[in-house]
Amino acid sequence: MIEIAAKGQQTWQQHHQYGKRSGSETAMQRYKRTFGNQLHAREMSNQEIEVMIACGVLNRFTSLGMPQSYKSV
């Protein structure tokens, strides 16, 4: 709180890379909402594969929902 008061909230967020943390928290929220709070595989190697596949699916969902943008002349 003292640092935020001294430097300002925006400077504090940039110094502590708050945006990256917020982005990762949002990604985990999306993951849990889509696939649930638990992994289904029992072994660690299989859990790693499960997470990689799920992340690929999330990335595909994101790319499908992104608008097609182009530079206007």
Element (H, E) at 25: helix 18-35
Burial of 50 (0-12, 13-18, 19+ CB in 10 A): middle
Domain ranges of the chain: 1-58
Whether the per-residue pLDDT at 1 is higher than 80: the answer is no
CB 4 within 8 A of CB 15: no
Q: At a CB cut-off of 8 Å and minimum separation 6, what does 55 contact?
A: 31
pLDDT in tens, 13-60: 888 888 777 888 888 898 899 899 998 999 999 999 999 999 999 889
